[in-house]
Amino acid sequence: MSVIGQSVRRAALDRFAAGRGRYVGDIDLPGMATVAFARSPVAHAELLGVDTEAARAMPGVLAVITGDDIASFAPQPSLWNLPGQNHSGLKALATDRLRYVGQPFAAVVAVDRRTAEAAVRAIVPQYRALPIIADMDAALRNDAPCLYDHWSDNIVARPRWQAGDIAAAFDGAALVVSDRFTTQRVHPCSLEPRGVVVAPDLDGESITVWLSTQSIHQVRAGISECLGLPEHRIRVIAPDVGGSFGMKACIYGEEVVLAFLTHRIGRPLRWIETRAEAFVASTHGRDERVDLAVAFDADGRIRGLRSTIVLDKGADPYATSMGTAWITGAVMTGPYRIDTIDIEALAVVTNKTPTGAYRGFGQPEANFALERALDIAAQRLGLDPADLRRRNLVAPSEMPYPTPTGIVLDSGRYADLLDATLERFGYDDARPAQSSSRRRTGVGIACYAETTNFGPSPLCKLIGVDSGGFDITSIRMEPSGHVRVFVGQTPMGQGIETALMQVAADELGLPIEDISIVHGDTVSSAYTAYASGGSRGAGVAGGSTALAARRLRERILRWGAHLLDAPLESVRFVQGGVEVVDMPTRRTGIAEIAVAAYKAFSTPEGLEPGLEDRAAYDPPALAIAYGCVAAEVAVDLDTGKVTVERIVFGHDCGVQINPAIVEGQVIGGLAQALGATLFEEMRYDDARPLTLSLQDYLLPLASDVPHVELVHFETPTPFSPIGAKGVGESGTIGVPAAIANAVQNALGTASPLVTLPLTGERVLASLSSEAKA
């Protein structure tokens, strides 16, 4: 029986549940000192000097450094570098200017955390306030000051996609829907904050870095670049990672500073982010505004689409630079047949914490705009929202369907999945909205198409990712017959290690207990140029793992023939061994083959002793997952509070390796999206952050998550050897639009909801517009 498709229990679950996780914060090394960072208290200022004298004099303080001490460093690298993109040139510690509240400008090393934090409080920056660029409008104003003196404006880059005759598409339209759709800034809030431990190696030249990250190889390259230390002298290890959600994808200044300091001080060092620090020190997500105009025929067919996307990148375009906005532009046409477009994406710098990757990565933002626009159009054209979508969804017969932005909709049954989801939901009976004087209910839907299996090297090159998009897997059968699989992916809660065990077990016909995964170490696991992220673990690392396991199987087969003294053509691989075709008594088991391969008094023609192999997999294209979300909400007319009563989530991630994990991924992503739809928001007052604790920043509780029913389709993608598409981000994409459409359905003719989150205030404001109308 195939192991793929089985809900194999995740190996790490019991360990985590029993409190036996081993995170960066659990690492304790002899002589280890603690680092704390002094961070900017202001949004924008000229930094005139930093008085560190009092801090240095404190007992227990081992060192204090400022930006001047790292002046020789190379700037913090960014993961995406679009052609023509502007760079900040900023280093790990600020020197002449402070550009956001939370920007580090000095670091203290002390014997313990309390001393380090007290010393940080004793560091006094002298500064002169500068005019603040509080938001994207301020950044784009003609007379706006430039955040960087070497830029001519505040724009990081502005890629554009154009296809077809856009003027004609709009001129001949029966209806044009046009509005401004805003997705707010959110805080990714992983359970485990960021953390770094560094130690000098015994050779006195190399260092080991333990880091809560999804990108061990990029971080190694980044530290190497910043410090000018060769990569082979830096070992990066990701121990257990307690959630990362994209936020731990980039190279932060903290790891660079600690790598430098451990060298200088010759002691192991630790920095563990505090929860309060995380709100300003780790990258935020979203913060995009989408101006969208869609032109329709009278029957609801889409004629063309115009859009301008603006991403508030915060103070520094490092991290994933323009990536989020680029993806928003690239996926703006969704799962629909749209060939005429004019889309432009801008990222601008402001005086806020930098934004970076966050689960969904630009796609919820696009989906919210497009799916809201489709509902507004359906209402104006007198069509059912589902019918309007059916008329535009790309049909299986049209696939592979190249979208005008260069994405290929590879496979799937979009309309069938919409129908199946609506049937499970009872859509036809659920509409129209019910109302009473205090409470109204509504239903809403949203479809999505999602880029997954991030990779193809040509795409990486196009967008300026500095490596190809392949994964490498090495595989070794030990003399005991146990198989170790060395992968480049990093588990961060998504269960990739279990899925990859299943892939190897399946190819080798072995029980899952006979497989283990080695991950998260630049020395002992495999190299992956691009990290974990882009929902690529299952499809891309699953691909390289399947290919490597197939090569190992071929070796086992040849060893088997050798041991059986039979020609290769006459033997076959069977569960647990190799046998001569039609002569099952002439059989040798895996255990005997494994021992023979290592003892090897004689070796099969063309092979060497031992049983190991490797494979790289570079997908030919992104694999496009898709789905449909149907939501039922209740709106309290006194307070505007939205309660999500029920969600039916239909999705297709191709072949499911582990259905239980897939389900957990979808529901986890959905819960995150629910928070982002209803109440999560990083609030600022003139670039001063107001939400600095979990008291102010509302995360969804278990009781906020409604009953969720899933509908699964499994259309294998041709772009992965195992047919798997990604699912790790799927839950986040269609949920905001589906809920907003349901709330709008409840509110009826009130003014369109176009801004997230859907707070009570916003809902009441929309209602009062109805009263006036």
| Positions in the binding site for ligand SMO (CB under 6 A) | 214, 246, 249, 357-359, 361, 533-534, 729
> The tokens of 687 are what?
């670039």
Q: How far apart are CA 197 and CA 491, in angstroms?
A: 19
Chain centroid to Cα 673, Å, comes to 13
Q: 78 Cβ partners below 8 Å, 6+ apart?
A: 87, 250, 317, 318, 319, 320, 321
Tell me which stretch binds ligand MCN (CB under 6 A): 237-245, 287-295, 311-319, 327-335. 237-245
Q: Per-residue x/- mask for ligand MCN, residues 425 to 454, rule CB under 6 A?
A: ---------------------------x--
Residue among 159 and 669 whose Cβ is closer to ligand MCN: 669
Q: Is 193 an interacting residue with respect to ligand MCN (CB under 6 A)? A: no
Q: What are the C-alpha distances in Å from 680 to residues 259, 282, 343?
A: 34, 16, 28
Q: Closest separation between CB of residue 533 and ligand SMO, Å?
A: 3
Q: Per-residue x/- mask for ligand MCN, residues 534 to 573, rule CB under 6 A?
A: xxxxxx----------------------------------
> The tokens of 87 are what?
């760079």
Q: How far apart are CA 406 and CA 551, in angstroms?
A: 34
Q: How far apart are CA 303 and CA 121, in angstroms?
A: 60
Q: Is 766 an interacting residue with respect to ligand MCN (CB under 6 A)? A: no
Q: How far apart are CA 487 and CA 521, in angstroms?
A: 9
- Binding partner of residue 665 among ligand MCN, ligand SMO, none, CB cut-off 5 to 8 Å per kind: ligand MCN
Residue among 11 and 595 whose Cβ is closer to ligand MCN: 11
Whose CA is closest to 160, among 345, 321, 298? 345
Phi, psi angle pair for 594, to nearest 5°:
-60, -45
Q: Closest separation between CB of residue 472 and ligand SMO, Å?
A: 19
The residues in 347-386 that bind ligand MCN, with binding defined as CB under 6 A, are 359
Tell me which stretch binds ligand MCN (CB under 6 A): 34-42, 428-436, 532-540, 700-708. 532-540
The residues in 466-495 that bind ligand MCN, with binding defined as CB under 6 A, are 492-495
Q: Closest separation between CB of residue 379 and ligand MCN, Å?
A: 34
Chain centroid to Cα 252, Å, comes to 16
Residue among 246 and 304 whose Cβ is closer to ligand MCN: 246
Q: How far apart are CA 282 and CA 278, in angstroms?
A: 5
Near ligand MCN by CB under 6 A: residue from 25, 200, 243, 444? 243
Q: Closest separation between CB of residue 728 and ligand SMO, Å?
A: 7
Q: Is 528 an interacting residue with respect to ligand MCN (CB under 6 A)? A: no
Whose CA is closest to 199, among 73, 31, 23, 21? 31
- Binding partner of residue 494 among ligand MCN, ligand SMO, none, CB cut-off 5 to 8 Å per kind: ligand MCN
Q: Closest separation between CB of residue 617 and ligand MCN, Å?
A: 13
Q: How far apart are CA 570 and CA 453, in angstroms?
A: 38
Residue among 87 and 725 whose Cβ is closer to ligand MCN: 725
Q: Is 525 an interacting residue with respect to ligand MCN (CB under 6 A)? A: no
Q: Is 320 an interacting residue with respect to ligand MCN (CB under 6 A)? A: no
Q: Closest separation between CB of residue 372 and ligand SMO, Å?
A: 22
- Binding partner of residue 155 among ligand SMO, ligand MCN, none, CB cut-off 5 to 8 Å per kind: none
Q: How far apart are CA 68 and CA 47, in angstroms?
A: 12
Three-state SS sequence of 720-737:
CCCCECCCCCHHHHCHHH
List strands edge to edge, sheet with 124-129. 97-98, 45-51, 124-129
| Interface residues toward ligand MCN, by CB under 6 A | 243-246, 359, 452, 492-496, 498-499, 532-539, 653-658, 661-662, 665, 668, 724-729
